[in-house]
Amino acid sequence: MKILFPQAFTLTSSNISNSSFSDWNTSTAYAIGAQVYLPDNYGEYKCLVANTGVDPRTSIYDATKNPNGKWLFLGTTNKYKMFDKYLTSQSVRNGNITVEMLAYESQAIYLGNLDAQSVTIQVIDNNTLQVIETFTKNLIRDVTDAFDYGYGGWIENRKTQFVYERTTATRDISLIIEINNGSSDAKCGIFCCGKVKEVGLTKWGVSVGALDYSTVVTDTSTGDTSLLEGNYAPTLDLDLFTQTKNAMALNKILNDARGKGVVFIAGYSDDLLVYGYKQKHSTVMSGQVETIITVNIIGLT
């Protein structure tokens, strides 16, 4: 298994328009219903209580935690949704999304919650301005039979995520990412790039599952209950094999992953990718040669 640790990058261009709302201004008197944009965090907000000089970031309405908040957070503006670390929010543009960024020392690129036919990645050497790598990922799965083709299962079961690991060692690079979906809306929920660290060989027997966040709702007047569909988080439970002499170094890498959203690359196929966090891990040094590391992973939704 490998872990992709996301790192900072600088977005230099995008074909998605920025927010249509005016930037929030500390001296402007805002009436109820006014909508503003905050460039500092790329957030959009709606005024709930007339105010002047109240920073939306410090007065966000929450029915439980802050019922007196004067602003409603509408979400990250469309241009930056693919960078906001929330898988369920997507940047959307008809036909294609094209972004370019400075990504110094990035070894790998992860794209998740995609709705697209294909993605093309170009890696550019910033010193020579030459394209040193080009990679295209086809996200449409193969048609299995005529029944599958006729009922469109091959369309519905597109791949929605992948990792691309670079093949060159140039550090000072830019990336151009093009997400294509023909005449339909191209969508991307998350992008990250960074360094990759190996943490052992994944053993067969990976357990793939999910945490269901659906809830049971009860009507207090009738006592009737129903199930309210919620989101879900993918889970991976796996064992890693490594040599005992490397065990403590790998244990440190897993400890370094605590409290962070990272990409776990379990191996075998794109389906064993999870952008999430490590719930726990344990290391068993079973001998002078063999060590087994058990890892429990929960995806971020």
What's the predicted TM-score (pTM) here? 0.88
CB 104 within 8 A of CB 173: yes
User: What are the tens digits of pLDDT across the range 145-161?
Assistant: 555 555 555 555 788 99
Task: Say what the alpha-carbon torsion angle 265, 266, 267, 270 is, to the nearest 10 degrees.
Answer: -60
Q: What is the set of domains in the chain, with CATH numbers?
A: 9-15+84-195 (2.60.120.260), 22-76 (2.10.10.20), 199-299 (2.40.30)
What is the phi/psi pair of residue 251, to 5°?
Answer: -60, -40
Token pair 């469309």 in the structure block, residue? 78
Token pair 């009436």 in the structure block, residue? 31
User: What are the tens digits of pLDDT across the range 256-274?
Assistant: 999 889 999 998 676 789 9
Q: How confident is the model at residue 87 (pLDDT cuts 50, 70, 90)?
A: confident
Give the closest residue to 137 by CA, choosing from 156, 165, 103: 165
